[in-house]
Amino acid sequence: MKNTNNKLVENVNAVEINQNNKDMKQEVTYKTVKANINGTVENIILGYSTYNMERPKDKADLISLIDKEKMLDVIFHLGNADIFWNEEIELKDANGNIIPKDTPNVYVPCDTADTYWRFEVDEILQNVEIHKFNSLQEYGQAINTTLYSRKPNNVESLGFASIASKNQTYNSIYNFAKKHGIPMNTAMSFFDVKLKQTQTMQLAMGLNVKDIPELKRTEEEAEQLIESVEMVFGKQEKGKRYAINSINTVIHKFDMETVLYALAKIPAALVTAYKISECHEKESCLVAELVLFISEMQRSPASGRMKRSAIELSMSYRPSFR
C-alpha cells in the first residue's frame, strides 16, 4: 500500500481570451496530480465534467485522519477529454477553473466508489488505466458498469467499527441488527441509544473515540422487546422505528416491566383499531393508546397484582397476543 497525502502540483498554462474586444493574455493555474502512466510518473490535469461524482467536502477533516499506510490499492480509470469538448461540455479542474479545449495532458476521471474521493488525496495515482473512448456514449456506458458498486450500508459500517475497535456497544447493536434483519436506527432504539456517524467512521478507521454511549438495556431485554413488537404488531413491523420509539417513550413514563406486561395483555381489537386509523402521527397516537391502556389497567381492581405479574413476566416473557 502506498503512503499518500493531499498534495497537488501546480501546472501553469497560458490561455488567450478576448475581453471587451481587446486581446489579452491571462495566466491560469490548473491543479494537477502525479500519475503513474505506463511506468512513468507524469503531471496531469484532472478535468471534471458535470457528470462526475461530487467529492465528499463534508468529510475533508475525516479523510485527513486516515492512516495512508492502511489504504488498499485501487485502479484509477481515466478517460480522454476530447469526447467532452466535442460535445461542448465544459471541463473544470479541481479549483473550478474552466479548461480550454485541446489543453494537453487533460484526463477525465472515470469515477468508481473506490476512487472518486481519492483522485486528489493520493500523492501519486498508482495503477492507472487510460481509456480511449470513441464517444461520450461509450464513456457513459463504461461508467454505468459501476452502478452495482456501493459503499457499506449503515449496518455493515457498524460491523466494521465493531471489529476495528472491539467496542461492546457497537458489537451488540450490530449483532442484533444482523440477527433480526432490521435497520441500524431501529436496532439502536431497542437498546435506547443513539450512535453518531462520525464516531462510527472514526472507530472503523482505528481512531480513539471518546463518549461512545453505553447500552441502556441488556441484550436479553432488547430480545424481549423485539419479540413483543413482532407478536403484537406483526413481523413486518419489527424493523420500523415507530413501534419501538413509541414503546421507549412509554417505558420512560412507566417502566419496562409494566410496558411488557401491558403489551402482553393489550386486546387485539385495540391494536387493529390503531392500525386502521391511519393516524398521521403514528408514534404520538401509539404512545397515547399505550399510556391510556396502562393507566386504565392500573386503576382496575387487579392493579395491585399487576406489578407483581409484570416482574414475573419480564423473567420469562412470551406474549399471548398476536
- 17 and 130 share a domain? yes
Residue 3 lies in a domain: no
- Mean of the per-residue pLDDT values for the chain? 85
Residue 20 lies in a domain: yes
Q: Residue 93: how many CA atoms within 13 Å on its side-chain side?
A: 24
- 193 and 319 share a domain? no
Amino acid (one-letter) located at 71: M
- 134 and 185 share a domain? no
Closest residue by Cα to residue 116 from 53, 73, 66: 53
For residue range 307-317, list pLDDT tens digits in order.
Answer: 444 434 444 44
For residue range 7-45, list pLDDT tens digits in order.
Answer: 444 444 444 444 443 444 467 889 999 999 999 999 999
Residue 1 lies in a domain: no
- 163 and 135 share a domain? no
- 276 and 305 share a domain? yes
Tell me how many domains the chain contains: 3
Amino acid (one-letter) located at 30: Y
In the chain, what percentage of residues exceed pLDDT 90? 62
How high is the pLDDT of residue 206?
A: 85
Max Cα-Cα span within the chain: 97
| 95 burial via Cβ count (<10 Å: 0-12, 13-18, 19+) | exposed
Helix axes 282-299, 241-253, angle to 10 degrees: 40
- 270 and 169 share a domain? no
Residue 4 lies in a domain: no
C-alpha to C-alpha distance for 160 and 201, rounded to whole angstroms: 9
- 173 and 84 share a domain? no
Q: Which residue has the cell 464513456?
A: 139
Q: Which residue has the cell 499518500?
A: 4
Which of 97, 113, 144 represents a domain boundary (last residue)? 144
What are the backbone angles phi and psi of residue 229, rounded to the nearest 5°? -60, -45
Which of 120, 144, 168 represents a domain boundary (last residue)? 144
Range of the domain at 175: 152-216
For residue range 232-265, list pLDDT tens digits in order.
Answer: 999 999 999 999 999 999 999 999 999 999 999 9
Residue 221 lies in a domain: no
Reduce the DSSP state of residue 108 to 3 states and report it.
Answer: strand
Query: Residue 94 in contact with residue 46, Cβ under 8 Å?
Result: yes
- 176 and 97 share a domain? no
- 21 and 132 share a domain? yes
- 198 and 278 share a domain? no
How high is the pLDDT of residue 58?
A: 62
pLDDT (average), residues 148-162: 89
Which of 96, 122, 144 represents a domain boundary (last residue)? 144
Torsion of CA 199, 203, 208, 210, to 10 degrees: 30
The DSSP line for 55-98 is: P-GGGHHHHTTS-GGGPPP--EEEEESHHHHTTT---B-TT-PB
Take residue 235 and report the three cell numbers written for it. 413481523
* Residue 11: strand pairing partners: 30
Take residue 22 and report the three cell numbers written for it. 481587446
